[in-house]
Chain A
Amino acid sequence: MAVRLFLCSVRTGDPAVGKTALAQIFRSDGAHFQKNYTLTTGVDLVVKTLPVPDTGDSVELFIFDSAGKELFSEMLDKLWESPNVLCLVYDVTNEQSFLNCSKWLEKARSQVPGTSLPAGVLVGNKTDLVSRRVVEAAQAQEWALGQGLECFETSVKEMENYEAPFQCLARQFHQLYREKLEVFHALA
């Protein structure tokens, strides 16, 4: 079987942690399916198709990217109604940006009606700035685990590991789909 799933992800985090850079590098790696849009609302949308390993299925990832400071403006409320998954980004050299992730997560989850919380990933960026690192990987890992998020570290500058968080989002979403199919079968 080959299903193409459609996934809407909202990326959030403090300004200047590298959210936009992460999306830019992800879109520009030369894959066939890359399609770029700029919404007139000032939100940037990156669309990309990711195959889910060992399934024949693929996930079309719609990543809405926005500057942290304007994220909860009225203009974007609609967008926030039901993201499927979240991508929280912080800067490993900026402790406040990491601490603020819980604030972003809480806000994001309060937007989602009902009980099904969106899954997601936590991404620590700027690992190339080794001497300035203040947020340790273990510390981020521990917090992420407690929140049900998977944890990644990247260096957009060095183009390291930038695809892993997105592949993880696609895998998580595919898993949600399979779980829901089981529910649908059970109710039939």
Chain B
Amino acid sequence: MRKVDLCLSSEGTEVILATSSDEKHPPENIIDGNPETFWTTTGMFPQEFIICFHKRVRIERLVIQSCFVRTLQIEKSTSKEPDSFEQWIERDLVHTEGQLQNEEIMANDGHATYLRFIITSAFDHFASVYSISAEGIAVSNLS
């Protein structure tokens, strides 16, 4: 099977929830394939967003580009509905002045239908996420 970036709106993926929304920097910017656009939080933490693949996927590698994110928790679900999330990955990120954070995660047991990203703390009052790519394969459609 063909490996693709599963986190692209052009692949049918959607952000179905985000706890912050500035209409100039909406959460869709995370999966639009454009590294210049971003989603920003608008104050206080934790903040989260949920990505829906609309199919069963198996993720092998995640790359998250962000700014000022300190602690990131990723949960996943294999349900048809966005529920039954289980803890999957937790990372403490490093802040490098003048550079985006580029966090690469090799994934074990990457079967998912939804991913939930929770930013539990940040290096500033606000944090932003530019892109998330999930390399892997589409396993099957939701029936």
Contacts and interface: CB of A to CB of B under 8 A. Distances in A.
Contacts of B125: 82, 84, 116, 173, 176-177, 180
B42 A184 contact: no
| Secondary structure call for the B interface | loop
A130 interface: no
Contacts of A6: 42-44
B123 A84 contact: no
Contact of A1 (B22, B124, B130): B22
Interface size for chain B: under 10, 10 to 19, 20 to 34, or 35 or more residues?
Answer: 20 to 34
Nearest to A181: B40
B44 A8 contact: yes
Contacts of B113: none
B124 A180 contact: yes
Nearest to A116: B124
Interface string B101-132: 00000000000000000000101111010100
Nearest to A3: B22
A2 B128 CA distance: 18
Contacts of B36: 188
Contacts of A8: 43-44
